[in-house]
Structure 1
Amino acid sequence: MSDPTALRGGIDETVGDEATFGVVTVSDRASAGVYEDLSGPAILNFFREAVKSSWRAVYRVIPDEKSEIESTLKTLCDKEGCCFIVTTGGTGPAPRDVTPEATEAVCSRMMPGYGELMRNISLRHVPTAVLSRQTAGMRGKSLILNLPGKPKAIRETIDEVFVSIPACIDLLEGPYIVTNEAVVKAFRPPGLIRQEKPAPAA
């Protein structure tokens, strides 16, 4: 993206820690410049609206090549230190839709509940959501989540799914993420909740 400030957001005046997010658009045509990527920016815009604590993002646009998806995910996890990586695109039944396979290849453990939840959400909007093969998994202390490819479907999905993401990242010993509750009210068991900093005296 041309504006580097778009890759940062949130504020420091919360109980949260700075988080690093990965955003990966998987698309032959977008990576070749045939059309502008709108899906990655939709995810970044969600972070700007929903995450109150400080964050930065690493954004990539790559083709539907399994080896390149795998190497990108490994770099974001192992070198960039992303606690949460979101992919968009490549989750359907078409021959070049290989994002789920690449995700599974780099993860040590899978989180099938996220795929089930995302399909249930999307099925409320379109019957072809049953064709989606979205999945999620963990690599080290990183959570990787496959989202749909269209901006509208991205927001329909991530606005609901993100409710549990901060707690999952807590359990992976990652940064403490504070959300803007007007957009997403994160759910945490009581033992994972930090107390807000007291307001300074007038």
Structure 2
Amino acid sequence: MFRTVIICMSDKGAKGEREDLSTKIIEKIALENGYKIIKKILIPDEFELIKETLKNICDNNEADLILTTGGTGFSKRDVTPEATLEVIDKVIPGIPEAIRAYSMTITKRAMLSRAAAGIRKNTLIINMPGSPKAVEESLSFIIDSLTHGLEILVGTSSECARK
């Protein structure tokens, strides 16, 4: 059971002006796939706050996986990928590439995503879309492969070769 933290970056959500539906969807999919939700966090789109939140969770070994939602678009306030890239030790480009490729079969707007993914210490961080529909499609698409990657990361599996 992988320890998972969900972080929503939303100025309006943090002010109570918008309901955070994406976190609920992430939580549902994660629980259905045997992941344990450690905590859910809702913060504004503030670069330093995002960085510090990610670093604290990783550096204190609170989670195996952090799934963020929001802050990956073109708005001047969308800084989640930049904050993520600043704190990770290893970039994992294949995850956001796979999400974008799959999402392009649904909508051409998927090319506008700036999401990133990577590892800090023993924690995988993945930026998910902010849209509830897009986050459901994206996470449902990658969840099976994520499980294998996390098994490798936490040391419960060492084999990547197909049998």
Q: Could you list the per-position Cα deviations for residues 115-167 of structure 1 after superposition, in whole angstroms to 9, with x for gaps in the alignment? A: 11111111111111111011100001110001010111111111111121122
Write the distance in 1 (CA, Å) between the matches of 2:55 and 2:134.
26
Q: Could you list the per-position Cα deviations for residues 70-90 of structure 1 after superposition, in whole angstroms to 9, with x for gaps in the alignment? A: 111112212252001000001
1:120 to 90, 101, 111: 101
Write the distance in 1 (CA, Å) between the matches of 2:37 and 2:112.
33
1:48 to 14, 18, 31: 31
Percent identity over the alignment is 37
**Count of aligned pairs:** 161
Question: What TM-score does the superposition give when structure 1 sets the normalisation length?
Answer: 0.74
Q: Which has the larger radius of gyration?
A: 1
Write the distance in 2 (CA, Å) between the matches of 1:99 and 1:123.
21
Write the distance in 1 (CA, Å) between the matches of 2:89 and 2:58.
12
Write the distance in 2 (CA, Å) between the matches of 1:162 and 1:38.
19
Tell me which protein shows more helix as a share of its residues: 2
CA RMSD for the aligned pairs? Answer: 1.8
**1:172 is the counterpart of 2:153:** yes
What code does the residue aligned with 1:34 have? E
Write the distance in 2 (CA, Å) between the matches of 1:158 and 1:57.
18
Which residue is 1:35 aligned to?
Answer: 18
Write the distance in 2 (CA, Å) between the matches of 1:85 and 1:174.
17
Write the distance in 2 (CA, Å) between the matches of 1:56 and 1:163.
17
Task: Give the unaligned 5+ runs of structure 2.
Answer: none
The equivalences for 1:14-25 within 5 A come to 18-25=1-8
Question: What TM-score does the superposition give when structure 2 sets the normalisation length?
Answer: 0.91
What code does the residue aligned with 1:24 have? I
